[in-house]
Amino acid sequence: MRELFENTQPHDPVEAAGRDLRRVLRRRFYQRATAASAADGHVACLDGAPIRTPAGHVLAAPTLALAEAIAAEWEAQRDVIDPANMPLTRLANAIIDGVAHAARAIAAEIEKYLASDLLFYRVSTPQELCARQARHWDPILAWAREALGADFRLGEGVAYVSQPATALAAAAAAIPNDDWRLGAVHAVTTLTGSALLALALACGRVSAEEAWQAAHVDEDWNMEQWGRDEIALARRAFRGAELQAAATVLKMQV
C-alpha cells in the first residue's frame, strides 16, 4: 500500500484535488474488505490478506470494532481507491508507523499546545463574540479545573499568557499513554488548535461535534459578518472527517 498512502497530505482539499488531477488513482483490485482477529491483533484484510501500512506493518487495530471500521472504508471504495476519502485508514497508518516510535515527542507536542491553548485567548469586543467564546469554552476550562486539577489563566488578544506550572502538569498527566489514543488526541489537538478540547473529547466530556463547533467559534463569527468562504468550508469539511476518524479511534479503542 506504499504507493497509495505514502506522502498523502490530506489537510487541504483544494490542493489535494489538484494533486489528484496529476496522479492516477489505483483501481480497486480486491473483491472484499473484511476484519479478522489474529495473533498480532485485529486485522483489516483484503480478500483475506492483511492490509499493510506504507512502512510495511500489518494494519492491526486494538479492537475488532476498529478493524471493522477501517475495513469498511476499503469496502466503500468503488472503481478506484482514493486515500483522500479514507481518514480512518490514514490515521491508523500514522499511528502504527509513527506514534509507536515517537510517543514521547508526540506527547511533548500536545503539552506545547496546552501552554498556549486556543481556549485561553479571548476577544474583548464585540460582546456577542465574547459571549460565544465563553459559552463554548468556559465549560471546558471548568472541567479541566474540576476533573484534572488544572486551573488556567485567560488573556485578551494574542499576547502570550504564561500558565501555572501546576496546571500544565495536571493537564499533561491526562495525555494518554497508549499509542492509539495518543495518536488520536494528537490529531484532534492539531485539527482544533486546542489540547484541552482533545483531552475533553478523549475523556467523554464533549462529543466530536461539540469539540469541532468550539474550535470554530471565531471562524463562524467572521463568516456571519463577512460572508461564507466556500474554500474555507471545504477545507473544514475535509478536516472534520479527520476529527471524526480520531473520535472513532477514541470511542472504539477501549
Do 114 and 173 fall within a single domain?
A: yes
Do 120 and 231 fall within a single domain?
A: yes
pLDDT of residue 12: 46
Contact 206, 197 (CB under 8 A): yes
pLDDT of residue 38: 85
Q: What is the 3-state secondary structure (H, E, C) of 103-137?
A: HHHHHHHHHHHHHCCHHHEECCCCHHHHHHHHHHH
Distances (CA, A) of 86 to 43, 138, 159: 16, 34, 38
**Which grid coordinates are listed for 246?**
480520531
Do 118 and 237 fall within a single domain?
A: yes
Out of 97, 115, 144, a domain closes at 97
Do 113 and 87 fall within a single domain?
A: no
Rounded percentage of the chain residues whose pLDDT exceeds 90: 81
CATH code of the domain covering residue 90: 3.30.2180.10
Do 175 and 61 fall within a single domain?
A: no
**Which grid coordinates are listed for 251?**
470511542
Q: The domain containing residue 132 runs over which residues?
A: 101-252
Q: 5 pLDDT exceeds 90?
A: no
Dihedral of CA atoms 174, 178, 180, 184 in degrees, nearest 10, equals 20
pTM, two decimals, is 0.90
Out of 45, 72, 97, a domain closes at 97
Distance between CA 104 and CA 147 in Å, rounded?
24
Out of 72, 97, 122, a domain closes at 97
Is the C-alpha dihedral spanning 98, 102, 107, 112 positive or negative?
A: negative
Summarize pLDDT for 173-202 with one digit per residue, the tens. 999 999 999 999 999 999 999 999 999 999
- Domain total in the chain: 2
